[in-house]
């Protein structure tokens, strides 16, 4: 067992809050790096000791500004050490940190800030400050705002606005005055104090504030850190939204539990470069990141020389054959092993380095299903990529895949201390130390989600595979429906198969209560754009490319291939796509069509594009439509387009029914 | 009319200082062609001054006169209260004037970072040998200059392309790199030759934002040429309008917009 695990047995008694963990790290790991951030082209780093000092200065500064126990402090911005410190400083003074999605519009932000009654806001930069100022009139509780990056803010009215570093300076200056108060407030923190409040992105309705206690966070972080044998030597890259529970657990919970280093990229655009420079040992990404990287690799290989291409494809084929088996510790022949070694030297090693996965020990993907081919690609290179299943209400972890039992089609076994049951409707329920306290100011929703015994309904339908004990997810329980014929309608199943093609970014299937299924497709501009360039197809806009006959033809081939594969499944063969359109715009969170975590809001899409769905069902060849779009700065505009409805071949047994009509 | 030394405060709260550069009766000829005919105007400290006009009006020539690249046959250029003698471009650069070009003039094969570093040339004093062997002050200078450059890269949000060769960048970004290089010289007066030519709406908005930010954050005086009227009117404090080498208007955007000569030059007049 690791050193960290050994410490836990001795110290677990007192380690009942994040500030307490910080105190331990500042002693035990005093000179190990806690945070790194690339700024001005150089990785700056802070040890745990320095981190503790920074956080203390900020906490004293917050006391100086008059933060009371139980106040809510909203934290908005991209992943930066200073904002992670803000969360811990807030906890230290007995306040509740509420990280908010940084790409939320001002209105969305207003809802969250008003709902929790935030008294303080700590924002990353001018953009976020502007948004809060825009809706300030609706926020009666708001007392002070703090910003990190002063760029562009010099001339703002500073009555309620403070620069982060000044707050810290004032805190340091007032140390004598407030240090007793700070120590007293920290001492009051227990396992049942609120650790954080996170707003769910909400595929339906308004976001709900999920209250997580120190017990939820510390226990979950501890359990899974031990499950994966994480130590203080790990390096992670923190680039996923801070408001998302996953980032909170990985970058805060687990980092503080194990004492490992959190690395923050320079900006959103530099994430891939920074990933390569850091080479994390523990990594978490939604499938779209892995998909995007694979697409990029393939595009770049097409530009490479003949010899390189040959070598790449040859060794990749070999990796596909034995790589996964070697990773799982299964028996593989001597020659194959040697060849894999050679491949590692020539292809896999350099490739992993380029991707930033050279040092990875444990990698997770979650949030959506990942394409089996993509999953296997990474595993065959020797990257220990695994899947987990979780949600905010569970403090992430419900099931995880143990090393050596990794498959693309399951999400693993229950995480340590988690109990799972499937009800008679097929919905998954769980109970664990991570089970959330409540939805803030929403007792009704709390009661309908969590029963008296602590069981939580996930809203997902699934089953436990008898042979392996692994959980398999079918779909969101409320999305699973019936077609007119009575056959099961599980849209996600088909959509995922479609999305596994690099050309297809997003797909939405319709067919609940209907006699057949139709689909919306979003093309992936990177992949299709590159293809167009290669084939000398000129296009001026996304819309034009999306409507190009050759693009439609390619997509039709994909859809038909998916139909063939769906037809194999007896239960779901009714879900084959009869007709589809390639949409003229990308589904976007700014237009409300997706959540901030990029999950499709099915109902809104259905309402918004009702005319297109109607055209798909009534057999029209084309449909002219006009769609309202919202720009990033909140302005609205509209785009008009004429879309072609494309017919796709379907396979029997559905074909027979169509013939019978 | 304001006195040359007087300063005033704009509507958005910026202080515009006294005159830093004055063009007095400039005439510039290329053989028999008169590119600029008897033009006078001034540039005040901290303002954004635009020079506009239809194609061939002599805008770029005017900018080249300001930058010292062309020496006018008649007239005088006054900079910081002194008449400027004919100068070599590098001497002008040392006076604190930097510029960007209409047809991007970057080193294509070099990375963005290296391109921007060239803007620091006037701040590097180490000799060739010191540079080559990384001895003496060469290292210290490089570190100091890199720091300045990195702050500019951060300011203009081009971190992601720091190591990318310029040739691989799209047009809009190249323009931004050029601006970065000009800023690296920490100029007192920044000349922008059509900073928004050939850009789409979004790129124009970004560029406008950066120009305003540069002016606001560093207090840099900016003179720019542009033929997109909309952009100019939003950005600048005062506008000079040129047509066929002559000055036909000078004043605030509102004054210029309502000037009949300017309207005629832009919309044309009927010749009946």
> Do A96 and A198 fall within a single domain?
yes
Q: Write the pLDDT tens digit of every residue in A205-249.
A: 788 999 999 999 999 999 999 999 999 999 999 999 999 999 999
Cβ contact B160–A270 (<8 Å): yes
pLDDT of residue A18: 96
Residue A577: in which H helix or E strand, if any?
A: strand A577-582
B125, B12: one domain? no
A303 and A262 fall within a common domain: no
- Among A40, A126, A631, most B C-beta atoms within 10 A, so best to mutate, is A40
Q: Is pLDDT above 70 for A5?
A: no
What pLDDT score does A355 carry?
92
| Residue B81 CB neighbour total at 10 angstroms | 12
Residue A579 has pLDDT above 90, yes or no: yes
Last residue in a domain, options A476, A504, A523: A476
Selection from A12, A184, A171 nearest residue A94 by Cα: A184
Q: Which residues of B touch A40 (CB under 8 A)?
A: 147, 150-151, 153-154
* Mean pLDDT, residues B200-221: 89
Residue A633 has pLDDT above 80, yes or no: no
Rounded CA-CA distance B216/B99 in Å is: 18
> Mind spelling out the 3-state secondary structure of B72-86?
CCEEEEEECCEECCC
Q: Which of A276, A305, A340 lies at the terminal end of a domain, its last residue?
A: A276
Closest CA to A119 of A104, A105, A107, A132: A132
**Chain A 393-432, residues with CB within 8 Å of chain B CB atoms:** none
Domain boundary, last residue among A445, A476, A507: A476
Domain residues for the domain of A536 are 481-660
CA-based nearest residue in chain B for residue A270: B160
Query: Is some CB atom of chain B closer than 8 A to the CB atom of A469?
Result: no
List the single residue in B13, B155, B159 with the smallest CB-CB distance to A155: B13
Examine the domain organization and report whether B116 and B91 are in the same domain: no
**pLDDT, tens digit, for every residue of A448-464?**
999 999 999 998 888 88
**CA of residue A241 relative to chain centroid, distance:** 8
Residues B69 and B126 in one domain: no
The C-alpha of A78 sits at a distance from chain B's nearest C-alpha, in angstroms, of 14
- Last residue of one domain, picked from the residues B131, B157, B184: B184
B23 in Cβ contact with B75 (< 8 Å): yes
Q: What is the rounded CA–CA span in Å between residue B191 and residue B66? A: 8
B54: buried, middle or exposed (CB in 10 Å: 19+, 13-18, 0-12)? middle
| Interchain CB distance below 8 Å, A42 and B150 | yes
Give residue A518's pLDDT: 94
Whether residues B26 and B152 share a domain: the answer is: no
Give the β-pairing of B246-251 and B238-243: antiparallel
pLDDT mean over A259-265: 96
- Of the residues B142, B158, B159, the best mutation for testing chain A's interface (the one with the most A CB atoms within 10 Å of its CB) is B159
A41/B153 touch (CB, cutoff 8 Å), yes or no: yes
How much is the pLDDT for A653?
59
Please indicate, yes or no, whether residues A343 and A470 belong to a single structural domain of this protein.
yes
What is the pLDDT, as a whole number, of residue B68? 87
Q: What average pLDDT does this structure show over A572-585?
A: 90
Across the interface, whether the CB atoms of A267 and B150 are under 8 A apart is answered no
Q: Which residues of B178-191 are buried (b: 16+ CB within 10 A; e: fewer)?
A: bbbbbbbbbbbbbb
Structure tokens at A471: 């959980």
Pairing of the two strands A235-237 and A261-264: parallel
- DSSP 3-state assignment of A528? helix
Averaged confidence pLDDT in chain A: 90
Domain at B80, CATH number: 3.40.50.300
By percentage, how much of chain B surpasses pLDDT 70? 97
B31 and B84 belong to one structural domain: yes
Note whether B89 and B68 are within 8 A (CB).
yes
Distance CA B219, CA B200 (A): 27
Residue A485 shares a structural domain with residue A459 = no
Residues facing B23 on adjacent strands: B41, B77
Longest dimension (CA), chain B: 74
Distance from CA of B150 to the nearest CA of A (A): 5
Q: Which CATH number goes with the domain that contains A614?
A: 3.30.300.30
Do A209 and A295 sit in the same domain of this protein? Answer: no
Q: What 8-state DSSP symbol labels residue A254?
A: I
Which two structure tokens, joined as six digits, stand for B227? 């033929």
Classify strands B189-193 and B221-225 as parallel, antiparallel or unpaired.
Answer: parallel
Q: What is the dihedral of CA A510, A513, A515, A520, to 10 degrees?
A: -10
Per the structure, the count of domains in chain B is 2
Residue A345 β-bridge partners:
none
Is residue A119 located within the same domain as residue A148? yes
A194-198, A570-574, B60-64, B140-144: which has the minimum mean pLDDT? A570-574
* Share above pLDDT 70 across residues of chain A, in percent, rounded to a whole number: 96
* Tokens found for residue A53: 């000092």
B22 in any annotated domain? yes
> Which residue did the predictor score with more confidence, B199 or B191?
B191
Angle (CA) A530-A536-A540 rounded to 5° is 75
Average pLDDT, stretch A312-317? 93
Distance between CA atoms of residues B99 and B191, nearest Å: 4
pLDDT for residue A204: 61
Q: Which of B131, B111, B109 is nearest to B121 (CA)?
A: B131
Asked if A377 and A513 sit in the same domain, the reply is no
- Evaluate whether residue B102 is within a structural domain: no
Categorize the per-residue pLDDT at A254 as very low, low, confident or very high, splitting at 50, 70 and 90.
very high
Look at A41 and B146 and tell me if their CB atoms are within 8 Å.
yes
Among the ranges A54-63, A374-383, A531-540, which has the highest mean pLDDT value? A54-63
The verdict on B63 and B194 lying in the same domain is yes
B145 is a domain residue? yes
CB crowding A84-97: b at 16 or more within 10 Å, else e: bbbbbbbbbbbbbb
Asked whether residue B155 is assigned to any structural domain, the reply reads yes
Spatial separation of the C-alpha atoms in residues A172 and A70, rounded to whole Å: 23
State the pLDDT at residue A203.
58
How many Å apart are CA B86 and CA B64, to the nearest integer?
12
Same domain flag for A180 and A35: yes
Residue with tokens 């200065």, as numbered in its chain: A57
When scoring A37, A38, A41 by the number of chain B Cβ atoms within 10 A, the one with the most, hence best to mutate, is A41
Query: How confident is the model at residue A81, as a pLDDT?
Result: 97
Q: State whether residue A155 sits within 8 Å of chain B by CB.
A: yes
Counting Cβ atoms within 10 Å, is residue A652 exposed (0-12), middle (13-18) or buried (19+)? exposed
- Tell me which chain A residues have a C-beta less than 8 angstroms from the C-beta of B201: none
Domain that holds residue B172: 108-184
Contact B159 A266 (CB under 8 A): yes
A:33-52 residues touching chain B, CB 8 A cutoff: 39-42
Of the three residues B184, B209, B244, the one that is the final residue of a domain is: B184
Minimal CA separation from B183 to chain A, in Å: 16
Cα distances (Å, whole numbers) of residue A558 to A528, A585, B271 = 13, 20, 63
Q: Of residues B272 and B206, which shows the higher confidence score?
A: B206
Residue B197: inside a domain, yes or no?
Answer: yes
The answer to whether position B71 is within a domain reads yes
Whether residue A471 is found in the same domain as residue A507: no
Q: Which pLDDT score is estimated for B272?
A: 57
Inter-chain residue contact A151 with B155, CB threshold 8 Å: yes
B272 CA: distance to closest CA in chain A (Å): 42
Same domain, B169 and B199: no
Where residue A581 falls (left for φ over 0; alpha for ψ -120 to 50; beta otherwise) is beta
Q: Please indicate, yes or no, if residue B103 is contained in any of the structural domains.
A: no
Query: Shortest Cα distance from B66 to chain A (angstroms)?
Result: 30
Residues B144 and B177 in one domain: yes
Same domain, A420 and A457: yes
CATH number for the domain harbouring residue A454: 3.40.50.12780
pLDDT tens for each residue of A488-529: 888 888 888 898 788 898 999 999 889 999 999 999 988 898
pLDDT value at residue A592: 85
Confidence of residue A283 (pLDDT cuts 50, 70, 90): very high
pLDDT band of A2, cuts 50, 70, 90: very low
Which residues from A are below 8 Å from B162, CB to CB? 41
Rounded to whole angstroms, the Cα distance separating A559 from A507 reads 10
Proportion of chain A above pLDDT 90, given as a percent = 63
- Number of domains chain A contains: 3
Residues A146 and A199 in one domain: yes
Q: Indicate whether B77 and B119 sit together in one domain.
A: no
A219 by DSSP, 3-state: which? helix
CA end-to-end span of chain A, whole Å? 65
Q: Which residue of A has its CA nearest to B147?
A: A40
Flag the least confident range among A224-238, A631-645, B168-182, B230-244: A631-645
Residue labelled with tokens 């005062």: B238
Q: How far is residue B142's CA from residue A422's CA, in Å, rounded to a whole number?
A: 65
Higher pLDDT, A487 or A134: A134
More confident residue, B177 or A592: B177
Tens digit of each residue's pLDDT (9 = 90 or more) over B35-50: 999 999 999 999 999 9
In the predicted model, is pLDDT for residue A11 greater than 70? no
**CA angle in degrees (0–180, nearest 5) for A336-A337-A339:** 65
Chain A environment of B113 (Cβ under 8 Å): 41
Residues 6+ apart with CB under 8 A from A591: A608, A628, A629, A630
Does B213 contact A266 at a Cβ distance shorter than 8 Å? no
At residue A13, the pLDDT reads 54
pLDDT of residue A655: 45
Model confidence band, residue B140 (pLDDT cutoffs 50, 70, 90): confident
- pLDDT-derived band at B1 (thresholds 50, 70, 90) equals low
pLDDT, residue B266, reads 75
What is the distance, to the nearest Å, from the Cα of residue A419 to the centroid of all Cα atoms in its chain? 24
B193 pLDDT more than 50: yes
Chain A residue numbers touching B13 (CB-CB < 8 A): 155
pLDDT winner (highest mean) among A23-37, B200-214, B249-263: A23-37
Residue B250 lies in a domain: yes
Residue B269: what pLDDT?
67
Q: Mind giving me the DSSP string for chain B?
A: ---TT--EE-TTSPEE-SEEEEEEEEEEEETTEEEEEEEEEEEETT-EEEEE-STTSSHHHHHHHHTTSS--SEEEEEETTEEPPP--HHHHHHTTEEEE-TT----TTSBHHHHHHHTTGGG----HHHHHHT-THHHHHHHHHHHHHHHHHHHTT-GGGTTSBGGGS-HHHHHHHHHHHHHHT--SEEEEESTTTT--HHHHHHHHHHHHHHHHHH--EEEEE---HHHHHHH-SEEEEEETTEEEEEE-HHHHHT-HHHHHHHH-----
CA distances from B8 to A236, B13, B15 (A): 52, 10, 6
CA B101, CA B120: separation in Å to the nearest integer?
A: 17
Residue-level pLDDT at B270: 65
Nearest to B150 among A41, A155, A270 (CB): A41
Q: Is the pLDDT of residue B265 over 70?
A: yes
The span from the CA of A44 to the CA of A41, in Å, is: 9
User: What is the C-alpha radius of gyration for chain A, rounded to an integer number of angstroms?
Assistant: 26
A635 touches chain B (CB under 8 A): no
pLDDT at A486 over 90: no
Examine the domain organization and report whether A393 and A434 are in the same domain.
Answer: yes
The answer, for A151 touching chain B at a CB cutoff of 8 Å, is yes
Of A7-21, A406-420, A540-554, B105-119, the one with minimum mean pLDDT is A7-21
* Interval A47-88: pLDDT, tens: 999 999 999 999 999 999 999 999 999 999 999 999 999 999
Which carries the bigger pLDDT value, residue B217 or residue A2? Answer: B217
Q: Which two tokens stand for residue A366?
A: 């979650």
Please give the residue that has the higher pLDDT: either B157 or B266. Answer: B157
Q: How far is B159 from chain A (nearest CA, A)?
A: 7
Q: Identify the band that residue A10 occupies on the pLDDT scale cut at 50, 70 and 90.
A: very low
Domain boundary among B184, B204, B226: B184
pTM: 0.82
């Amino acid at each position: 067992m690791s050193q960290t695990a050994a410490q836990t047995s001795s110290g677990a008694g007192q380690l009942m809050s994040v500030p307490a963990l910080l105190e331990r790290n500042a002693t035990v790991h005093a000179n190990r790096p806690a945070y790194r951030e690339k700024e001005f082209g150089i990785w700056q780093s802070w040890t745990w000791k320095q981190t503790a000092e920074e956080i203390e200065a900020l906490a004293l500064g917050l006391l100086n500004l008059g933060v009371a126990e139980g106040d809510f402090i909203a934290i908005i911005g991209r992943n930066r050490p200073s904002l992670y410190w803000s969360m811990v400083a807030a906890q230290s003074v007995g306040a509740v940190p509420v990280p908010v999605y940084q790409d939320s519009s001002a209105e969305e932000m207003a809802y969250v800030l008003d709902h929790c009654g935030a008294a303080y806001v700590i924002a990353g930069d001018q953009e976020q400050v502007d948004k809060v100022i825009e809706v300030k009139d609706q926020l009666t509780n708001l007392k002070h705002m703090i910003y990190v990056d002063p760029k562009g803010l010099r001339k703002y009215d500073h009555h309620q606005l403070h620069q982060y570093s000044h707050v810290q300076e004032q805190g340091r200056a007032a140390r004598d005055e407030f240090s007793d108060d700070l120590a007293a407030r920290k001492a009051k923190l227990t396992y049942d104090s609120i650790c954080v409040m996170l707003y769910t992105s909400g595929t339906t309705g308004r976001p709900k504030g999920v209250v997580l206690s120190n017990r939820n966070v510390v226990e979950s972080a501890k359990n899974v850190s031990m499950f994966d044998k994480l130590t203080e030597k790990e390096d992670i890259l923190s680039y996923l939204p801070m408001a998302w529970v996953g980032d909170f657990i990985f970058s805060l919970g687990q980092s503080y539990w194990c004492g490992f280093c959190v690395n923050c990229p320079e900006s959103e655009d530099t994430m891939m470069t920074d990933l390569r420079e850091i080479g994390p040992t523990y990594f978490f990404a939604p499938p779209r990141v892995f998909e995007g990287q694979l697409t990029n690799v393939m595009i770049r290989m097409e530009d490479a020389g003949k010899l390189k291409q040959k070598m790449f494809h040859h060794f990749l084929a070999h990796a596909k054959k034995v790589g996964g088996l070697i990773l799982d510790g299964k028996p593989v022949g001597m020659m194959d092993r040697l060849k894999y070694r050679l491949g590692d030297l020539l292809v896999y090693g350099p490739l992993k380095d380029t991707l930033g996965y050279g040092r990875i020990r444990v990698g997770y993907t979650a949030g959506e299903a990942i394409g089996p081919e993509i999953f296997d690609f990474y595993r065959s290179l020797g990257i220990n990529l695994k899947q987990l299943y979780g949600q905010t209400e569970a403090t992430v972890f419900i099931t995880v895949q143990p090393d050596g039992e990794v498959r693309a089609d399951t999400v693993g076994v229950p995480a340590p201390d988690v109990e799972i049951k499937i009800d008679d409707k097929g919905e998954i329920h769980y109970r664990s130390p991570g089970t959330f306290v409540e939805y803030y100011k929403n007792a009704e929703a709390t009661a309908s989600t969590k029963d008296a015994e602590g069981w939580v309904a996930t809203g997902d339908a699934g089953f436990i595979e008898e042979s392996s004990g692994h959980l398999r997810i079918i779909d969101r329980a409320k999305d699973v429906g019936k077609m007119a014929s009575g056959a099961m309608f599980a849209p996600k199943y088909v959509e995922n198969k479609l999305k596994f093609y690099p050309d297809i970014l997003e797909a939405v299937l319709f067919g609940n209560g209907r006699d057949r299924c139709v689909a919306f497709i979003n093309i992936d501009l990177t992949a299709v754009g590159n293809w167009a360039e290669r084939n000398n197809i000129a296009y001026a806009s996304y819309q034009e490319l999306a409507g190009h006959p050759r693009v439609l033809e390619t997509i039709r081939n994909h859809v038909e291939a998916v139909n063939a594969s769906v037809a194999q499944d007896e239960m779901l063969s009714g879900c084959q796509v009869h007709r589809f359109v390639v949409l003229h715009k990308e589904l976007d969170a700014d237009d409300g069509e997706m959540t901030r975590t990029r999950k499709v809001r099915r109902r809104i899409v259905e309402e918004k594009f009702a005319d297109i769905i109607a055209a798909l069902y009534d057999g029209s060849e084309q449909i002219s439509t006009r769609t309202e779009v919202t720009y990033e700065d909140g302005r609205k505009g509209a785009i008009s387009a004429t879309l072609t409805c494309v017919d796709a071949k379907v396979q029997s047994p559905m074909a027979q029914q169509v013939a019978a009509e | 009319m304001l006195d040359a030394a007087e300063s005033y405060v704009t509507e958005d709260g910026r202080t515009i200082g006294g005159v830093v550069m004055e063009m007095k009766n400039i005439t510039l000829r290329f053989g028999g062609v008169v590119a600029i005919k008897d033009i006078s105007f001034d540039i005040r400290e901290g303002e954004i001054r635009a020079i506009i006009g239809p194609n061939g009006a002599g805008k770029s020539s005017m900018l080249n006169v300001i930058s010292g690249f062309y020496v006018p046959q008649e007239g005088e250029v006054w900079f910081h209260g002194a008449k400027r003698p004919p100068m070599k471009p590098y001497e002008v650069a040392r006076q604190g004037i930097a510029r960007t070009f209409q047809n991007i003039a970057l080193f294509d094969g070099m990375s963005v970072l290296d391109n921007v570093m060239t803007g620091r040339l006037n701040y590097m004093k180490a000799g060739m040998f010191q540079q080559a062997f990384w001895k003496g002050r060469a290292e210290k200078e490089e570190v100091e200059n890199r720091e300045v450059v990195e702050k500019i890269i951060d300011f203009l949000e081009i971190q992601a392309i720091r190591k990318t060769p310029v040739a691989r960048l799209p047009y809009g970004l190249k323009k931004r790199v050029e601006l970065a290089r000009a800023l690296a010289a920490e100029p007192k007066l920044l000349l922008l030759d059509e900073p928004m030519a050939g850009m789409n709406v979004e790129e124009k908005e970004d560029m406008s934002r950066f120009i305003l930010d540069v002016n606001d954050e560093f207090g840099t005086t900016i003179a720019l040429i542009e033929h997109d009227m909309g952009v100019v009117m939003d950005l600048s404090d005062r506008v000079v309008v040129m047509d066929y080498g002559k000055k036909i208007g000078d004043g605030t955007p509102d004054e210029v917009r309502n000037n009949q000569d300017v309207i005629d030059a832009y919309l044309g007049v009927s010749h009946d």
